[in-house]
Chains A and B, each alone.
Chain A
Amino acid sequence: MSLDLPATGCRTAPVLRERGQREVFCGLTAIIWLHRKMPDAFFLVVGSRTCAHLLQAAAGVMIFAEPRFGTAILEEKDLAGLADANQELDREVARLLARRPDIRRLFLVGSCPSEVIKLDLARAAERLSVQHAPRVMVLNYSGSGIETTFTQGEDACLAAMVPGLPPATQRELLLVGALPDVVEDQMRALLTDLGIGPLRVLPAHVADQAPGVGPQTWFALTQPFLGDTHAALMRRGAQPILAPFPFGEEGTTAWLRAIADVWGVGPDRFEAVTAAPRARARRAVAAQAATLAGKRVFFFPDSQMEIPLARFLSRECGMIPVEVGTPYLHRDLMAAELDLLPAGVTLSEGQDVDLQLDRQAAAAPDLTVCGLGLANPLEAQGFTTKWAIELVFTPVHFYEQPGDLAGLFARPLRRRDILAQGGGA
């Protein structure tokens, strides 16, 4: 046991690693937001009827004139022998692209069944890319439940795009992660006001705006779950800007400050640009913090956003994190976040759901953050839960949203109080 541990922070805290049954969505789920962010892309899941049903159920609420994703269903016959499946895939892709001239990027998305039968989608993508160049770029990544959880689907998708990005010709800031449009605009405005640029974004809205990447590229992740993309960009020689993630006033300020330091922005200008929105963010959070302060929160692993969110809740809303679980703990990306987490928090990585449920029950937290599969059963037991997926779908980054972010956690607590007074319960 070493004696020179810092008094606060969790950077070197031990981590409970668990490998058991998991209650998390697979990476296919990320298609729900990715296909909105890239209107000229099509996501073709090569999978089973289960995969098709997942997409239908999760994304079925959004119906559009022309779909941007679909499932190529592997039938018994394909599962038996492989020669067929590749041919069928080629034919279906050709038909799809002939019908849909608007598609410029086609993602072949691997699933559990395609992996089990070892269908080589990387080779299929290469083959199809040659066939359909230059109009359509065909890429592949895995969204399978064997390899990925939930937000890792976005990571896998972005990482798959990195090798094909053109070389960068100048010093640029590359912002990585699929953000809601309104948030992306706010981010651009803040950075532009700070005099930082040129700004490029991955994923680009349309194929023609694909950013360049090279040794002159500095990149900053906007989402904490982009570890593979981070590694892929490093392989292209790009330089990372590591900082806490832009959640909450504190996280946003630290994130901006780290970029501003690289760009040599002076403290006066930084203050001038950020003072007003910082004050706003603090005011908006204060309105929610009254509900949250002093309450104990327990995170089940879900999106890899758990550590930054726990940091926000503890430092800006006065909550007490009990256990913070994450599907995967990326030490480098999380270092700055872990420094800000209060000592004494249990950090866990991966999941053995039964053991974790026992710990949750023993801890009896005021608020449990977890996926939908656990949320309703826990609610039925009398626990107040926050449905974690909403945190991925709601605009929560940067200065104008911390009030909303805190509100997402305060809402279930308020709701329980309201219903307890009613004829409910």
Chain B
Amino acid sequence: MIALDLPSYSRKENFGADETFHQIVRALARPMRRTGQVTCNLLGATALGFRHRDDVAELTRLLAGMGIAVNVCAPLGARPADIARMGQAHFNVLMYPETAETAARWMERALGQPFTRIVPIGTGATRDFLAEVSGLTGLPVQVDEGALRAPWWSASVDSTYLTGKRVFIFGDATHAMAAARIAAREIGFEVVGLGCYNREFARPLRAAAAQHGVEPLITDDYLEVEAAIAAAQPELILGTQMERMIGKRLGIPCAVISSPVHVQDFPARTSPQMGFDGANVIFDTWIHPLVMGLEEHLLTMFREDFEFQDAAGPSDHGAAHAARRAEPAAAVPEVALAAAPGVSPPDPQGISVKRKEEPVPAGDGAAVEWLAEAEQELKKIPFFVRGKARRNTERYAADRGLRAISRETLYEAKAHYAR
């Protein structure tokens, strides 16, 4: 029996999990002789964590490549007897600081086990992590990067269009900070917002936000998050299920990067976030909701095509648009002359959904009026950048004390914000 003293009214779930795990470890784990082979404990994984199951498998594989075995993985899947033998490991891998940092610190002091500080989410972080493990163990970094495709996928010209796409990142601090590094350095996005809901990690998150040149957002009030997202008008949100809902409301696509999660975030296939395989998974997952390069251009090119009304959104998912597309085969009916099955494209599926035009909060509350011609011109801009164009133009007008926005103002602002 372990007595827990959790101030449930003043602290949040993560704190509760972290403190509980700490107390359990403290009660059961004892200094022990180290195993013959170099081993480690994996700390922090939980049953409801975002992709924790697969992260554990991926890290186990990566570490095995260096000749390191996993002694105990906890709390996920650990029994009291496992906790009791945690002291055998040579070091600890702190996978999720949110749920295991206090335990890791205690074990460092009481059991003499050093722990890793780098969370291996993303290509760069994984490489850094392996170097850190090598430093702790004296073992050389041995890793097969053969299956790591994300860097080339990102470097190939097919991904050039991703450059500078504006992303808003919110989640638990660990995932949010990792996502910011990947977004900015490995995929080439522009981070326009970074925040977390766990105040315990406010300090590192503030430092990360400063690095990316954005205001940190530390709050557990989803309305505040929604307002920040609406103001930033990103092209993509990386968030939790809460932000996914916000994205739906605002018409902005979202990829989930962190708990709290939904049953759909427990895919049947292996989909880690950590390690090299995790880097591949992340690349795919984040790119998927975006409008593809060529599609983006065609949407821009022919705004006035009657089939390109605003109801027609970007690719498959993302936000507020329904199935406007028939099956791909419908686009190119193949007419076999000899066999003569005839031109028989399937029937249209043109269900259309009106897309909400989001009102963008005006700069300082000063109402700037859009003249009809400017409003008309704005409609020619594809919906996925229109919010940004509207906001930039209003800011430009407000900065110059303009009361009304003309077509000219719209293009002056465009030139001003050209980058």
Contacts and interface: CB of A to CB of B under 8 A. Distances in A.
The answer on A and B forming one complex is: yes
Contacts of B336: 73, 75
A97 B270 CA distance: 49
A411 B163 contact: yes
Contacts of A134: none
Contact of B411 (A58, A66, A280): A280
B338 A60 contact: no
B302 A180 contact: yes
Given A52-B334, A62-B331, A393-B297, A387 B160 contact: yes
**Chain A, interface size: which category?**
35 or more
B305 A36 contact: yes
A39 B305 contact: yes
B359 interface: no
Contacts of B306: 39
A215 interface: no
Contacts of A423: 122-128, 151, 181, 185-186
B338 A379 contact: no
Nearest to A375: B157
A376 B338 CA distance: 39
A96 interface: yes
B7 interface: no
Contact of B408 (A36, A73, A78, A276): A276
Interface stretch (B107-115, B168-176, B241-249, B288-296): B288-296
A32 interface: yes
Contacts of A180: 300-303
Given A36-B301, A73-B334, A280 B415 contact: yes
B418 A403 contact: yes
B333 interface: yes
Given A37-B302, A403-B415, A72 B335 contact: yes
A379 B186 contact: no
A74 interface: yes
B415 A393 contact: no
A181 B307 CA distance: 14
Given A75-B337, A287-B418, A407-B419, A32 B332 contact: no
Interface in A275-330: 276-277, 280-281, 283-284, 287-288
B303 A424 contact: no
B328 interface: yes
A281 B164 CA distance: 21
Contacts of B380: 181-182, 185
B348 A419 contact: no
B343 interface: yes
Nearest to B292: A61
B326 A411 contact: no
B158 interface: yes
Chain B CB within 10 Å — which of A32, A62, A72, A185 has the most?
A62
Contacts of B184: 418, 422
A62 B327 CA distance: 11
B282 to A, nearest CB: 12
Interface string A87-126: 0110110011001000000000000000000000000000
A49 interface: yes
A393 B335 contact: no
Contact of A56 (B181, B332, B337, B339): B332
Nearest to A277: B411
A412 interface: yes
Contact of B307 (A64, A379, A390, A425): A64
A419 B185 contact: yes
A64 B337 contact: no
Q: Which of B161, B185, B302 has the most CB of A within 10 A?
A: B302
Contacts of B414: 280, 284, 400, 403
A85 to B, nearest CB: 6
B337 A283 contact: no
A395 B381 CA distance: 11
A37 B308 CA distance: 12
Contacts of A387: 157, 160
B66 to A, nearest CB: 18
- Indicate the member of B124, B156, B331, B334 with the most A CB atoms within 10 Å: B331
A284 B412 CA distance: 9
Given A287-B418, A387-B160, A61 B295 contact: yes
Nearest to A391: B297
Given A393-B297, A423-B124, A407 B160 contact: no
Contacts of A412: 157, 160, 163
B77 interface: no
B155 interface: yes
B156 A379 contact: yes
B214 interface: no
A390 B161 CA distance: 10
Contacts of A421: 185
Contact of B155 (A56, A59, A60, A419): A419
A283 B338 contact: no
B304 interface: yes
Contacts of A73: 334-337
A76 B127 CA distance: 55
Interface in B362-419: 380-381, 408, 411-412, 414-416, 418-419
A67 B292 CA distance: 20
B186 A422 contact: yes
A69, A85, A415, most chain B CB atoms within 10 A: A415
B301 A59 contact: no
A182 B415 contact: no
A75 B340 CA distance: 10
A33 B416 CA distance: 30
A415 B188 contact: yes
A376 B154 CA distance: 11
A67 B418 contact: no
Nearest to B348: A65
A36 B335 CA distance: 21
B331 A407 contact: no
A80 to B, nearest CB: 10
B227 interface: no
A258 interface: no
Given A61-B294, A63-B328, A33 B343 contact: no
Given A75-B339, A88-B338, 16 more contacts: A61-B298, A73-B334, A78-B337, A91-B340, A182-B381, A280-B412, A372-B157, A379-B156, A379-B157, A394-B301, A400-B415, A403-B414, A411-B160, A412-B157, A419-B154, A424-B151
12 contacts: A92-B337, A181-B304, A283-B415, A288-B419, A379-B155, A390-B161, A393-B298, A394-B301, A418-B185, A419-B188, A423-B128, A424-B185
Interface of B: 122-128, 151-152, 154-158, 160-161, 163-164, 181, 184-186, 188, 292-295, 297-298, 300-307, 315, 324-328, 330-340, 342-343, 345, 348-350, 380-381, 408, 411-412, 414-416, 418-419
Interface of A: 32-33, 36-37, 39, 44, 49, 52, 55-56, 58-67, 69-78, 84-85, 88-89, 91-92, 95-96, 99, 180-182, 185, 276-277, 280-281, 283-284, 287-288, 372, 375-376, 379-380, 385-387, 389-390, 393-395, 400, 403-404, 407, 411-412, 414-416, 418-419, 421-425
